[in-house]
Amino acid sequence: MRYYVLDRGDQHSMDLSQQFHRLAQQKNFKLDAESPEIVVSIGGDGTMLHAFHTFIDRIPDIAFVGVHTGHLGFYADWRADELEELIELMSQGESEGLLNPRIVKYPLIELEIHKKSGNASFIALNEFTLKGVDGTVVAQVDINDITFEMFRGDGICVSTPSGTTAYNKALGGAMVHPTIEALQLTEIASINNRVYRTLGSPLLLPKHHHCDIFSRKEQRLLLTVDHLNFPVDDLISVRCQVSSQKISFARYRPFPFWDRVRNAFLN
């Protein structure tokens, strides 16, 4: 098995990374930074986001495994004291032709950003946000090329199903099971009075829909794709839609999504 490990960079995570390498060597796993089959993230959900974007060009060929070193993360199945069990299950899967693990695929968001200075494309695992730097954001929101609303407020968040448990939830958005191929658009502190009106509720768009966000005044904006920040002062529009690509997670034992939700927010 070809593998790679990416850790958070703190001492505990680095120690676990070295322990993983020692155990993997005993099972004759091959460390491969260029074309791994399995990428192991050791840290938190932020570490998994970093791992995802590190291997963004190889997403169809890689499965991810998360080991959390703090609170239970939504992308991490394993605790720090379970590395030996994880390695053993990975070794069994290798000998059985990868019948174990079960591969679970989650939807992603595809973004097309159009600026006066040029265009760019991104894929997000959690969410995309657009916020004002100096004040209120003014943006036109189109759904399937038809104007839906003129937004005024602090910003807009567009999340994947797995990302609905993160910033989207803090904004009052719904949590969506990641088997549902959709994106969720949630307003950030929208202005609603006699002059300015927005829907004021999160929107859930299916895979075959898209939304466009047009900048409607000269404004400095901060665009965030997962953990990556991009200051922009010449934005024309952003198109958001469910990506044709998906991220793959290697499940070496069952861990249902709603169990993750309960453990994170209720236990």
pLDDT in tens, 118-164: 999 999 999 999 999 999 999 999 999 999 999 999 999 999 999 99
Dihedral angle of Cα 28, 31, 34, 35, to the nearest 10 degrees: 30
Is 61 labelled a binding residue? no
Q: Are residues 227 and 119 in the same domain?
A: yes
Is 210 labelled a binding residue? no
Q: What is the pLDDT of residue 188?
A: 97
Measured in whole angstroms, the distance separating CA 147 from the mean position of its chain's CA atoms is 27
Q: What is the pLDDT of residue 27?
A: 94
Q: Are residues 142 and 229 in the same domain?
A: yes
Dihedral angle of Cα 231, 153, 161, 13, to the nearest 10 degrees: 50
On whether the CB atoms of residues 19 and 45 are closer than 8 A, the answer is no
Is 189 labelled a binding residue? yes
Is 152 labelled a binding residue? yes
Strands 30-31 and 2-7: parallel
Q: Are residues 116 and 219 in the same domain?
A: yes
Average pLDDT, the chain: 94
pTM more than 0.75: yes
Given pLDDT bands bounded at 50, 70 and 90, which one contains residue 193? confident
Q: Are residues 177 and 220 in the same domain?
A: yes
Q: For the chain, how far is it from start to end, CA to CA, in angstroms?
A: 36
Q: Are residues 83 and 122 in the same domain?
A: no
Stretch 190-209: mean pLDDT: 91
Q: Are residues 115 and 229 in the same domain?
A: yes
| Tally of structural domains, the chain | 2
Q: What is the pLDDT of residue 19?
A: 97
| Residues noted as catalytic | 45
Could you give the 3-state DSSP secondary structure of residue 233? coil
Q: What CATH number is attached to the domain comprising 179?
A: 2.60.200.30
Q: Which residue shows structure tokens 């934005």?
A: 235
pLDDT in tens, 33-74: 999 999 999 999 999 999 999 999 999 999 999 999 976 578
Is 126 labelled a binding residue? yes
Stretch 173-179: mean pLDDT: 96
Q: Which residue shows structure tokens 């494309």?
A: 121
Is 233 labelled a binding residue? no
Q: Which domain holds residue 140?
A: 107-243
Q: What is the pLDDT of residue 264?
A: 84
Q: Are residues 66 and 170 in the same domain?
A: no
CA distances 174 to 109, 166, 167, 207, Å, are 17, 10, 11, 17
Q: Are residues 219 and 255 in the same domain?
A: no
Q: What is the pLDDT of residue 99?
A: 47
pLDDT in tens, 226-259: 999 999 999 999 999 999 999 999 999 988 999 9
Stretch 213-236: mean pLDDT: 97
pLDDT in tens, 86-123: 999 999 866 555 446 899 999 999 999 999 999 999 99
Is 68 labelled a binding residue? no
Is 45 labelled a binding residue? yes
